[in-house]
Amino acid sequence: MIPGHAVAGHAAALMGRAAPQLATGATAVQLPTDEAAHHAPVEWWYFNGHLAGTDAAGHLHCYGFEYVTFQFLGLGPAPLYVANFAITDLDRKTFSYQARSASQPAPTKKDGFALHTGDWSMSGGSGTDVFKAALPNYSLDLRLQTTEPAVLEGNDGIVSEGAMGTSAYYSWTSLIPRGTLVDHGVPIKVVGISWMDHQWGAMDLEGGGGWDWFSVQLSNGDQYMLAFIRNPAGRIVANFGTRVSPTGQAEHMQGTLTERALGSWHSAASGFTYGSGWHLTLPGGTLTITPDLRDQELDFRSTTGNVYWEGDVSVAGRVDGSNVAGVGYTELNPPGGF
């Protein structure tokens, strides 16, 4: 992984950029209107990130986090909200996670989102977000601010995911998080780099397919979203991605990406076997993705019924003739995981 001081330095450099302009134009996804909840069967608002900070004794701590809220319609008289929150403690080498769910009226906020499950909450819009969530031994209170425009993924914000269908999808690929992480009772002021996705549509998540998804944030300012769609047999049948420059210019890629697992990790808890370490080829070069912990599986079969691997990763490679390094998150939804 990028050392904690490098994460903080990267964040400081991003803070000095001019305020971005929102994406505009005649597109399938319209911002900020589409930041609000939709009448779609499946929808989610997802954050990941990398945090670093020093405690009162001057010790540096580094973490990864993931926080997502799902909205499901049609399962009852009111929408069902399911939230997952996880902390990867890179100093203790531990992974902690929980899920919460609530059936409640749909949010009414316009041009943004305001979601809660119990005392966990996330809200925001136009690239400014706040959230609070807690686990045993950890709590996180963050404010996030974008340094670049939103990215409309795929074709004006519409992506095809094979047999699972199509969805609307945009990303904020360069967010600066600042706030407090309480680690076993010790408050730590943290800063770092984060990512946000919002996706919705009539997706068939129970049809047996799956996907491997990568967010990559390089120290040179480039960011990548890379997705590989699997059929029910587990074979990759489609791919798409986006490269975002340090100035926020997006270049979409489809059919030009490859993924090869460098190893595997078997979960004794769920019985699933996941790739562990990946070699990715993309226009202009290659990236090697390495998990910072092998076991970052979220096993919710006894509660919400799904299981997947969602983890903090390190990135190295060579793109356009230059060596690159950075941080990322990898999400592995195995066929049958829902």
The structure tokens listed for 224 are 């990548």
Whether 172 and 22 have beta carbons less than 8 Å apart is answered as no
- Evaluate if residue 67 carries a pLDDT over 80: yes
Q: Looking at this protein, which amino acid is placed at residue 123?
A: S
Encode pLDDT of 245-266 as tens digits. 999 999 999 889 999 999 999 9
The yes or no reply on domain 4-18+32-333 and CATH 3.40.50.300 is no
Model confidence at 273, pLDDT cuts 50, 70, 90, reads very high
Given a cut of 70, whether residue 156 has pLDDT beyond it is yes
Q: Which residue has the tokens 């090869």?
A: 260
Q: Among 7-16, 17-26, 287-296, which is the least confidently predicted range?
A: 17-26
- Is the predicted pLDDT of residue 142 greater than 60, yes or no? yes
pTM of the full structure: 0.92
The residue-averaged pLDDT of 305-309 equals 89
Mean pLDDT of the chain: 90
DSSP string, 112-171: SEEEEETTEEEEEETTEEEEEEEETTEEEEEEEEESS--EE-TBTTEEE-GGG-EEEEEE
Query: Length of the chain, please?
Result: 338
Confidence check: pLDDT of 311 > 60: yes
Residue 70, strand partner residues: 44, 82
Q: How confident is the model at residue 201 (pLDDT cuts 50, 70, 90)?
A: very high
Calculated CA dihedral for residues 184, 54, 246, 322, nearest 10 degrees: -100
pLDDT at position 338: 61
pLDDT score recorded for residue 12 = 44
Say which residues have a Cβ less than 8 Å from residue 72's Cβ, sequence separation at least 6: 41, 42, 79, 80, 81, 82
pLDDT band at 69 (very low <50, low <70, confident <90, very high): very high
Beta-carbon contacts of 100 under 8 Å, excluding residues fewer than 6 positions away, are 82, 83, 85, 117, 118, 120
Reading phi first (left if > 0) and then psi (alpha if -120 to 50, else beta), residue 48 is in beta
- Tokens representing 54 are 């020093």
